[in-house]
Amino acid sequence: MFKLKEVKAHCDVPCGIYDPIVAQIAALSVVRMVDLMEVGVKTKEPLGEALYQNNMSRYIAVKETEAIKCKDEIAIIWGDFIKAPQIADNPEIHTIVHNIMMLGGAAKQKVSREKAMELLAEVNKFAEIFWKIKGVKTKVAKSPYAPNEDVVYPVL
């Protein structure tokens, strides 16, 4: 219809529409689901078996979904936004991304607050580098919702 011989695109979305906050919230959600699972195990008896199983199934499903979302969001930013000059300035980025991929998998496989917190820590390291690349200062603050853990935020 248009008889185009060649089409080029710079990236998947308009430049600048990247933000690690989605991955950070996903990592926080993994921590939160682990916390809820651990509380659920301690309070199983008063809940009754059906409600206990229902709650655990929901926590597990959310933990799995959020771990995948975290990995996907980081992979997109790493693959689409981070370029050779940024890698040269931040050579640790590949190790951080690899750690996120491994910890995201571990978060799915286990019920481990330690692994979930390691995932959050690596995502926060990634966020620091991301905002440094964008020329935006960052601060660390507690998330304003459970699990109330430290998150790297841009200073806007």
Q: Where are the domains of the chain?
A: 21-154
Does the domain spanning 21-154 belong to CATH 1.10.10.10?
A: no
> Which of 59, 31, 23 lies closest to 117, judged by CA?
31
Report the alpha-carbon distance of residue 148 to residue 139 in Å, rounded: 15
* Range of weakest confidence among 21-25, 31-35, 53-57: 53-57
Using pLDDT thresholds of 50, 70 and 90, give the confidence band for residue 43: confident
Tell me: pLDDT of 2 over 60.
yes
Whether the pLDDT of residue 4 is over 90: the answer is no
Mean pLDDT of 124-149: 97
Q: Exposed e or buried b for every residue in 102-140, given b needs 16+ CB within 10 A?
A: ebbebbbeebebebbbbbbbbbbbbbbbbbebeeeebee
pLDDT at 16: 65
pTM: 0.89
Q: How many Å apart are CA 147 and CA 16, to the nearest integer?
A: 29
Specify the pLDDT at position 3: 75
Identity of the residue numbered 103: L
Average pLDDT on 125-132 reads: 98
